[in-house]
Amino acid sequence: MTFFNKNSNKKVILGMAAMIAISVLSMGAAAKSTPELDAALDQLMPGTKPNSIEETQLPGIYEVSYGSTIFYFNKDASLMFRGDIIDVEKRVNLTEKKRGEARGKLLKSMDESQMIVYPAKNEKSKVTVFTDIDCPYCVKLHREMDDYNAEGITIRYMAYPRAGIGSPSYQKAVNVWCSDDPAQAMGDAKEGQAVADKTCDNPVAQQFQLGQALGVQGTPAMFLEDGTSLPGYVPAKRLSAELNK
């Protein structure tokens, strides 16, 4: 759990706000605030409006959400902390539940036509996967695509070149997304075959930034339709069981 007070390094907090701004794109603000919180937020995160402000079950503690990024403030906004609030009796992580709802809304707002989709014939669910062409477990997942589809799971790929924008992995992703047959090119690239260099109006950088905003730290990173995050490779049978819960 991380605490900040009025004397905390504003550069650190504003750096967080820059990432937060990505996560609230296309998500309308619906904030119920107090004068003290308004003043504090305008100073700490100028130009960035929260999606919601709600008083928590902890007396005098307010939850401020920016997409899937959540902060907590005390009543006079002199202290801020990041962490999770857990309902001990119900054994429910209330903060993660809120994050999941925000992630789900954000993913639903994304244009599927900009993803590389491997549809299941008898579709039961869709899973969005942030993938890196050079990631060994991403290759393993892709080789088992028929298994996921057989479970009724449609896989939707979004680009997440871990080495960052401008890296060789990034260019490979651009080549795939710009190819005449991206689904085939993705398979070829993950088997180590060269995909012709090509440029076009592509979503790779935007998807990479979205992944960062969603908290992706490694690949593959799976997101269920309700926003639940499943980091790492998950076999088809186990993923199906998770979806059926």
- Is 99 annotated as catalytic? no
Catalytic residue among 99, 132, 134, 178: 132
Q: Is 178 a known active-site residue?
A: no
Name the catalytic one among 103, 138, 156, 178. 138
Q: Which of 97, 176, 178, 100 is nearest to 138 (CA)?
A: 176
Catalytic residue among 99, 134, 135, 156: 135
Q: Which two structure tokens, joined as six digits, stand for 84? A: 């999770």
Would you call 135 a catalytic residue per the annotation? yes
Q: Is 138 a catalytic site residue?
A: yes
Q: Which of 99, 103, 156, 162 is catalytic?
A: 162
For residue 216, give both structure tokens. Answer: 């992706």
Which residues have a catalytic role annotated?
132, 135, 138, 162
